[in-house]
Structure 1
Amino acid sequence: MDMASIVTLAALFMPALCDNYPVIRSNDVVYNYSYKSLSSVPTDVPANTTVLDLSHNDIPTLEAKDFSYLLDLRVLVVSYNQITEMDSNIFDANLNLEYLDLSNNRLENISNTFPVRLCHLDVSSNNFSTLSVCTGFTNLQQLEYLGLGAANILKFDLESISHLHLQQVFLDLKGLDKYENSSLLVLNTNLLYLSSLSDQKDLFNVLFDAVNTSKILELDNFGKWVEGRVPDEYISSIINNSRVSHLTLRNLGTPWIKLVGILQKIWHSSLESLHLHSLTIQGLIFHIPFDYVNTSMKELLIEGVAIELFIFNQGSLYGLFSEMNIKNLTIKHSNLLFMTCPSKLSTFEYIDFSDNAVTDDIFQNCLTLTKLKTLKLAGNKLQKLSKVSLMTESMSSLYYVDVRNNPLDYSDEDCYWSPSIRKLNMASCSLPNSVFRCLPKNVTMVNLYKNDISNVHLKKTHLINLEHLDLGYNRLSDLPDCTLFPRLMTMNVEYNQFPYPSTESLQNCSGVKQINIGNNPFHCFCELKKFLNERRKSPGKFIGWPDAYVCERPDDLKGVRLSDFYLPEMYCNVFIMVPVIIVPIIIGIFLMFALCKYFDVPWFCKMIWQLLRTKQRTRRSKKGYQELKKDFSFHAFISYSENDASWVKSVLLPSVQSMSDLRICQHERNFTPGKSIVENIITCIDNSYKSVFVLSPHFVQSEWCHYELYFAQHKLYSENTDNLILILLEPIPQYLIPSRYFKLKALMKQRTYLEWPQEKSKHALFWANLRAAISINLSEIEHETSVSIPSVST
């Protein structure tokens, strides 16, 4: 990972510029060239660079031209190279330089001056014979951190920087040949860090001055102290003459008896805080009497303990620490298995046994930790949540409990938490939904981050004081019911599994001031709009908005921020959708019916349907007539009333006879004289392929028309032929048809008739239907006749 990729993280976690590591600001231009095997400074570094890392390369020299154009350079790291020389005016153009690391190179001298804004300068672990380089630091009034190291440490060299008010001085003693007594005393610093103490000849003199230089002292790498190597009187002298209040020892290896002896001497000194990092205990561990009275000690921190001999009396080790009369005790990363309960009322207010192997048998039935306020047992082997609660029952002052990262389980057992507990951290414990039934009743803050909670099951609430609830990284499908926690102020439910917070849950949580719902698989549909409306009403309520709120579904919106998501209101509001979508549909249907009525579409459909059916019947009937071997003289016989003769002669006959020379039998023209009218009617009907009846109110009042219809209908039923064609010239109300014409009524109900339309646009379809009904090629029946009969009126 390059430096540019850690800009944001560094800016969050590094509070001050002049710490051991540079602060990367959000507007910094960062370039990282570390571990590139470079032999010179790159020439393509952009001119606007503010942070440049050239560490861990093979650069031998630094020249003025290397950085002269980097006018905005603020941080420069060139540690762990092979630098032996650099120009005296190399930093003259870099007036904004604040952080410079030249450590772990091969410089023998530095003759140049540095920018006055410099507040972090590290030139340790070079090849300086003396600290005469300090004469070039006299103008650095803003300097807070200074890293040094040389073969000879002389008082005169350090006096040149005695006027500087330093926050921290780091002194690498590796390769030290000579130390002049009282040299360190001229330094004006709050914290002194001495490294590489393992092989120093003048170790006593260095330590004696170090404990009187600053109140905060860190000593690194003592190696292994064997018995007798450091006389007890030396240790006593150093401790008794110390002004140090906070001491840190790193990488210390010592026998158990020596360690207890050092602790005993420290116990009666002015020291208030002791930190031991990477401690190795040598030799056999056994009980050694320890005097705890008359001490200024308030804090003991031990982190990273290695024991060379594993067979020892556990009580001798645990008893030394459990009886300490201090406020703060921390033992971390030390494979601690247990801790005995203090034999009398303890002064412990803070205990941290994180990242060990402690089980939930610790402090059971312990009645002497009544002053304890903070208990941290994170990263251990606690298993039963009910036993953890029982552990705290008698801790009447307990305020904060941290049991995160433990394989805890809860199965509805009774819980006995101390009523004084206000904060409880149970993150990453794989706890189920029922954990809410085992929470301290007066708790105000609960951290259940990264557990196995899918719902908050509580019939009635007992957590009336809960103000802060963290349920991030669980399996919730919606917001929990906030009415169960009447005083809830902040809630975290990020990284869960709900597609959107429901309207009911948002209403129940309306009293919560801040909620983090980010990083959930949001489904960007209509249901989400209610949440977006709620966010607009309370813009500062939802933490992480808008970057942490991104659509997961549908696929075409995946990755889109909710702040950019838009869905028209009519898609989600049924009261808008009905008038916008349904009403136009209704209007369209109404218009369609109106147009159909106006253009008489049903009539056209009816006539087309009749046309198709008629053509189909005609094709089927041809074979039947051929099988009868009957001779026909006419295509059709037309029956009509004399009152409708004008329409028949002027409209019907000219149009019909123009259709492929159809022969029409008409009573005025084709009745045989001398025969009775009934005989002529029967003859014409028998010699015609079809019988066409023009129906009208006049037709039903004609007696002879009724006879013609009777004989045609008789032929229809007797010969089983489809020979009737009804044309409705004018509508005939049923009440106008005499009751004796019941056959006409039945026929009009059973047979489909052709209606004569008044509109000319419909005439073509009418004639097409009529032609299809009566059309037949009489030559196919191999008969042709010509009849010439005088006209006789019906």
Structure 2
Amino acid sequence: QSDQKQVVNCSLLLVFLFSCLLHLHPSLTFSLKNCMIVFPESPNNLTVTCINRDLTAVPDDIPRNVTSIDLSTNQILKITDTDLRCLSKLMYMQVTFNSISHIDDGAFVDLIELRTLSMLKNELTNLTDNIFKGLRKLVTLTLSSNRISYISPVAFQSLVSIQSVELNNNRLHRITNITPILKLPTLHKLSISCNKLTSFRSDDMHLNVSNLRSLELDMNPVRKFSIRKDIFPHLQFLNLGSSGHEMKWDVANKTFLRSVSSLSLSHADKSFQPYSAVLKTTESLKILQLEFMKTLIEKGLIDVACQIPSLRLLSVSFSDIHTINDTLLRSCSQVTELGFSYDILSELSEHSLRSMTQLRLLALNNNALSQVPLALRGLSTLEVLDLRCVFQNLTNLKVLNIQDNSVFSFDSAFKVNLHKLESLNLHNNRLSGLQYGAFRNLSSLCVLDLESEAPYIVHDGAFEGLGNLQTLSFSVRDVYDELFIGMPQLKNLTVLFNWNQKSSGQNDDPTFSNLPNLRRLVLKVYEEPLEINSLHPDTFKYTPKLKDLHIVDSDLSDLTSELFWPIPNLQTLDLSNNNFRSLDFLVRANLAALSWLEISGNELSTINETVFQSLPALTYLDMTGNPLTCECSNAGFNQWVQSNKQTQVVNGHQYTCAFPLSQQGNKFLDFDTHSCWIDGSFLYFLSSTCLVVFTVLASFIYHFLRWHLAYSYYLFLAFLYDKRRKASPHRYDAFVSYNIHDEAWVYKEMLPVLEGEQGWRLCLHHRDFEPGKPIVENITDAIYGSRKTICVISRHYLQSEWCSREIQMASYRLFDEQEDVLILLFMEDIPAHQLSPYYRMRSLVKRRSYLSWPQAAQHTGVFWENIRRALDTADRPADNRHLLTGRPNYI
């Protein structure tokens, strides 16, 4: 018993601790109050976003197995040493655009797996000694746009894996502030733009060598850039940007910048010499970016740059270049990628690109060109052209981007010389239609974007010849089967169209019957009156590989389960912005693999939770924008949202009630469902528990107490009869209770002596019971109508149900009247332990004298004399009391 008590106490303690854990850490529940888990979700990659939730502190319901969290755009003021406890799996954390001014030392100590920490746009002023303690695996740290003016010399010592640090737009004013960072052996990138550094001198740095690869210094008032020793042997990218007026450039040896291959200059003043000196000390330069450099370009800076033999990419932007003449790029014959973007460029002279015989990419986007420049005609090596055009002779072109223009027709532009084109982007133009064979010669095309704000006519066979096309998006007035001929490898299809009866798949062949490899299908409908609210059951009959299906912005209000039977591998289903009022069609849809379901913006008011129980793989559910009712009809769904541990109901805690009016505007999950019903599962539990307890109890009683109960029952009956018959005279001297197996002995031995010789009047059930009367009444009348009851006991007697009842009633009379009315006569020697099942018999034998026929075999006369004396005790009670109440003995 002591051991059992200890086990019970331990169990109660565990339950208590677990309850406390749940109370203290709501993150153990699946539905988050202030955040949401981002789809796709996998067991090893759990992303949580809490963007723009008006949080003033880090929420306490962050799941402990989170690997990425975004707390951006809130009003968090500080991070305490308990806010991020136990998040040992966190790898990516963003706390940008908050008001954090203080971080406790050791606040990140549990984030042992953190790789990226971004605290852009906060109010930090100091980086203390132990602020980053524990972040041994941190690789990227962003602290831009704070108010940092002081950095402890040991603040970064814990960051033994750090590779990138961003401190842009702070208040650092001395290079000694960042020297401890430069000493970090793993550091590759340092961004300190927009600070208050007035000089960058190697003499001010107590540094032997740095492993830095990238350094951004732009937008600092640097008056002097001086490197007098070889401390940056690995530096590859240098951004000087606008470095102040009359910057002095002092690099003692060209080899000090021997690894610099990318350089960015911007906002330069009118002084040409410092920037010319910069270019002359970067002899390995491959990439040069020039922004807001109009004055120095006019002075010949591009010519100086193109004198560097290794230069391959030249980008000029925001420099107000209106015209490219024949001489501007004359020295740039080795350049392979050229960009003039956002330059208000309106003209290229016919021979301006003549010297660029190796040009593969040309970007002229966001300019003021009124026609395709003639300068493009001779660029036979060009692979990528961005005009955002005559394509003759561009035989190696692979990517063509003409999006966001006003192209309404391209006639035969794509029918010749573009055999290597892989990607064509005509998104958001003004196409009037697509003719037969419009893309027939683009045999290498893999991606085609023809999506537009308005639908257009697509003729049969418009896409024929696109045998390698895998991704297509376009706008069309009508969708029909012949439209998709010629694209057997198509995997991703996006169609914007007008939905009519033909589009529904009511024709003989399903609309998508020619797309057997389709994996992703997006159907969007223009805002026009529709003629159908459902889909033909065979719509997806020939697309068995479909995994992503999006049917949005339509008037769909009902679908059949049969529609989804041909696509059992469907994983993503988006039915947002439709008119669905019920989701019952999903119950038998056989979507065992569906993990992502979006049904936002529909007319769902009452949800049957069994719908989601029929989707075993569902992990993401978005029901935003549905008019949910906060009544008992939704109690099951309400409970399911809060209790299920598999499916994340996105923003479930923000759902509001649309009905009834008294609940309108209240939170859906705040609706009290306890007033609706007692949880059915609890009733089932209670019922089953009661049934089990009843079964166990009944079995126990039957096995151990059945004789007690039976005895009590018959005592009660005897009590009733006793009260009714106490005044009745005795008709018999004795009632003989015996079993049928002992009847021969009664007739041959007992009756001749007791009735024949001694003259007693006996009551025998077969002879004296009243016919037609209930047997229980006959037994009772016989017992109470006789002065005595003689029980002829044998093993058969003990096994007889009626004999048991007779002795039970006689026993009650014995106790009730307190008279010696019971005579026990044993026909066999029966050990006491064999009487134990017959509880009353054993207790009687222990307390009373009884007669034994086997022991009287040689003295039958004495035996019958003792019976006579026992029967005669009623008249002479004092003479016979010893025989009946003395110490038990055999006679």
Q: Which residue of 2 aligns with 1:371?
A: 443
Q: 1:105 is paired with a residue of what secondary structure?
A: coil
Residues 552/299 of structure 1: CA separation in 2 closer, same or farther (3 Å cut): farther
Q: In structure 2, what is the Cα distance between the partners aligned to 1:248 and 1:159?
A: 31
Q: Confirm whether residue 104 of structure 1 aligns to residue 104 of structure 2.
A: no
Task: Confirm or deny: 8 A CA contact 2:212 2:235 kept in the other structure.
Answer: yes
Q: In structure 1, what is the Cα distance between the partners aligned to 2:292 and 2:169?
A: 21
- CA deviations on 1:433-470 (whole Å, 9 max, x unpaired) are 85993337355352236989999944895447x4x733
1:87-486 matched pairs, under 5 angstroms? 87=176, 90-91=179-180, 94-112=184-202, 113=205, 115-129=209-223, 132-136=225-229, 138-149=230-241, 150=243, 157=251, 160-161=254-255, 164-179=258-273, 184=279, 186-189=281-284, 191-203=286-298, 205-213=300-308, 214-226=310-322, 230=323, 232-235=325-328, 238-239=329-330, 241-255=332-346, 258-259=347-348, 261=349, 265=353, 269-277=357-365, 279-281=366-368, 285=370, 292=377, 295-303=380-388, 320=390, 327-331=397-401, 334-342=404-412, 345-348=415-418, 349-353=421-425, 355-359=427-431, 361-362=433-434, 366=438, 369-371=441-443, 373-377=445-449, 380-381=452-453, 383=455, 390=460, 392-403=462-473, 414-426=482-494, 437-439=510-512, 441=514, 443-448=516-521, 457-458=537-538, 461-463=541-543, 466=545, 469-471=547-549
Q: Which residue of 1 aligns with 2:571?
A: 492
Shift of 1:245: 0.7
Task: Confirm or deny: 8 A CA contact 2:332 2:355 kept in the other structure.
Answer: no
Q: Confirm whether residue 55 of structure 1 aligns to residue 130 of structure 2.
A: no
Q: In structure 2, what is the Cα distance between the partners aligned to 1:427 and 1:8?
A: 38
* Higher deviation after alignment, 494-503 or 286-295: 494-503
Shift of 1:543: 11
% identical aligned pairs: 9
Q: 1:418 is paired with a residue of what secondary structure?
A: coil
Task: Confirm or deny: 8 A CA contact 2:193 2:216 kept in the other structure.
Answer: yes
- CA deviations on 1:647-682 (whole Å, 9 max, x unpaired) are 79xxxxxxxxxxxxxxxxxxxxxxxxxxxxxxxxxx
Match for residue 131 of structure 2 among 35, 45, 50: 45
Residues 196/288 of structure 1: CA separation in 2 closer, same or farther (3 Å cut): closer
Q: 1:763 is paired with a residue of what secondary structure?
A: helix
Residues 725/392 of structure 1: CA separation in 2 closer, same or farther (3 Å cut): same
Provide structure 2 residue ranges, at least 5 long, that are not aligned to the other structure.
Answer: 1-50, 52-57, 59-67, 72-89, 95-110, 526-532, 553-557, 576-581, 600-606, 621-636, 649-680, 682-687, 737-762, 786-804, 819-891
Shift of 1:695: 11
Residues 4/480 of structure 1: CA separation in 2 closer, same or farther (3 Å cut): same
Q: In structure 1, what is the Cα distance between the partners aligned to 2:642 and 2:266?
A: 60
Match for residue 763 of structure 1 among 813, 828, 839: 813
Aligned-partner residue type, residue 254 of structure 1: L
Residues 75/350 of structure 1: CA separation in 2 closer, same or farther (3 Å cut): closer
Q: 2:303 is paired with a residue of what secondary structure?
A: helix
Q: 1:76 is paired with a residue of what secondary structure?
A: strand
Residues 395/478 of structure 1: CA separation in 2 closer, same or farther (3 Å cut): same
Aligned-partner residue type, residue 276 of structure 1: L
- CA deviations on 1:340-380 (whole Å, 9 max, x unpaired) are 12257323323433652445724555265443513432653
- CA deviations on 1:613-636 (whole Å, 9 max, x unpaired) are x99xx9xxxxxxxxxxxxxxxx99
Structure exhibiting the larger radius of gyration computed from Cα positions = 1
Q: In structure 1, what is the Cα distance between the partners aligned to 2:435 and 2:588?
A: 46
Shift of 1:83: 3.9
Q: 1:200 is paired with a residue of what secondary structure?
A: helix
Match for residue 644 of structure 2 among 526, 537, 558: 558
- CA deviations on 1:549-579 (whole Å, 9 max, x unpaired) are xx997467433699xxxxxxxxx9xxxxxx9
Shift of 1:207: 1.4
Task: Confirm or deny: 8 A CA contact 2:235 2:260 kept in the other structure.
Answer: yes
Q: In structure 2, what is the Cα distance between the partners aligned to 1:158 and 1:766?
A: 127
Shift of 1:601: 3.8
- CA deviations on 1:685-736 (whole Å, 9 max, x unpaired) are xxxxxxxxx997666899xxxxxx9xxxxxxxxxxxxxx999631799xxxx
Aligned-partner residue type, residue 232 of structure 1: N
Shift of 1:253: 0.8
Q: 1:174 is paired with a residue of what secondary structure?
A: coil
Task: Confirm or deny: 8 A CA contact 1:268 1:296 kept in the other structure.
Answer: no
Aligned-partner residue type, residue 254 of structure 2: S
1:661-700 matched pairs, under 5 angstroms? none
Residues 605/54 of structure 1: CA separation in 2 closer, same or farther (3 Å cut): same
Q: In structure 1, what is the Cα distance between the partners aligned to 2:480 and 2:412?
A: 31
Q: In structure 1, what is the Cα distance between the partners aligned to 2:221 and 2:278?
A: 20
Shift of 1:247: 1.6
- CA deviations on 1:286-323 (whole Å, 9 max, x unpaired) are 688777356221211245xxxxxxxxxxxxxxx64699
1:530-549 matched pairs, under 5 angstroms? none
- CA deviations on 1:67-115 (whole Å, 9 max, x unpaired) are 5756635433222234443339933754443321122334332223455
Aligned-partner residue type, residue 75 of structure 1: S
Q: In structure 1, what is the Cα distance between the partners aligned to 2:364 and 2:514?
A: 38
- CA deviations on 1:557-616 (whole Å, 9 max, x unpaired) are 433699xxxxxxxxx9xxxxxx9999997786577667787457499379659959x99x
Residues 148/429 of structure 1: CA separation in 2 closer, same or farther (3 Å cut): farther
Q: 1:280 is paired with a residue of what secondary structure?
A: coil
Q: Which residue of 1 aligns with 2:634?
A: none
Q: In structure 1, what is the Cα distance between the partners aligned to 2:710 and 2:124?
A: 90
Aligned-partner residue type, residue 781 of structure 2: L
Q: In structure 1, what is the Cα distance between the partners aligned to 2:770 and 2:778?
A: 19
Q: In structure 2, what is the Cα distance between the partners aligned to 1:417 and 1:480?
A: 23
Residues 374/339 of structure 1: CA separation in 2 closer, same or farther (3 Å cut): farther
Q: Which residue of 1 aligns with 2:21?
A: none
Task: Confirm or deny: 8 A CA contact 2:404 2:426 kept in the other structure.
Answer: no
Aligned-partner residue type, residue 273 of structure 1: L
Paired positions, count? 570
- CA deviations on 1:366-424 (whole Å, 9 max, x unpaired) are 2654435134326533648xx66846433344422331xx7778765543332454332
Aligned-partner residue type, residue 253 of structure 1: I
Task: Confirm or deny: 8 A CA contact 1:389 1:418 kept in the other structure.
Answer: no
Task: Confirm or deny: 8 A CA contact 1:272 1:297 kept in the other structure.
Answer: yes
What is the aligned-residue RMSD (CA, Å)? 6.2
Q: Confirm whether residue 81 of structure 1 aligns to residue 170 of structure 2.
A: yes
Q: Which residue of 2 aligns with 1:36?
A: 123
Q: 1:30 is paired with a residue of what secondary structure?
A: strand
After TM superposition, the score normalised by the length of structure 1 is 0.55
